Amino acid sequence: MQNLDTVLQGTKRELIKLKKEKEVFTELERKEENFNKIIESIEGLERTKRETNRKKRDSLDKYYDPGKYDTAFYYVKSIEENNIKRTENFNPGISEKCPDCGKEALALMSYSQTYDSPEGDTWEKEAFIIHCDKIHYLKKIARSNRFL
Ligand SMILES: [Zn+2]
Question: According to the model, what pLDDT value does residue 138 have?
Answer: 98
Gap from CA of 104 to ligand 1 centroid (Å):
8
What is the tens place of the pLDDT at every residue in 32-74?
A: 999 999 999 999 999 999 999 887 776 655 678 999 999 999 9
Question: According to the model, what pLDDT value does residue 59 have?
Answer: 65
Q: CA–CA separation, 142 vs 124, rounded Å?
A: 4
- Average predicted confidence (pLDDT) for the chain: 94
Gap from CA of 62 to ligand 1 centroid (Å):
40
Question: According to the model, what pLDDT value does residue 54 have?
Answer: 84
What is the tens place of the pLDDT at every residue in 116-127?
A: 998 889 999 999
Q: Are 82 and 141 in contact (CB under 8 A)?
A: yes
Question: According to the model, what pLDDT value does residue 111 have?
Answer: 98
DSSP string, 87-127: PGGG----EEE-TTT--EEEEEEEEEEEE--TT--EEEEEE
Gap from CA of 63 to ligand 1 centroid (Å):
38
Gap from CA of 34 to ligand 1 centroid (Å):
14
Please state, for a pLDDT cut of 70, what percent of the chain lies above it.
96
Gap from CA of 107 to ligand 1 centroid (Å):
13
Please state, for a pLDDT cut of 90, what percent of the chain lies above it.
87
Three-state secondary structure call for residue 146: coil
Closest to 135 in 3D by CA, of 48, 43, 36, 66 = 36
Output 56-59 pairs: Cβ under 8 A, ≥24 positions apart: none
pTM: 0.85
Terminal Cα distance for the chain, rounded: 73
Residue 16, H or E segment? helix 4-57
Question: According to the model, what pLDDT value does residue 62 have?
Answer: 67
Q: CA–CA separation, 141 vs 112, rounded Å?
A: 11
Gap from CA of 132 to ligand 1 centroid (Å):
4
Q: CA–CA separation, 93 vs 85, rounded Å?
A: 10
Average pLDDT of span 4-22: 97
The number of beta carbons lying within 10 Å of the beta carbon of residue 121 is 15
Q: CA–CA separation, 32 vs 36, rounded Å?
A: 6
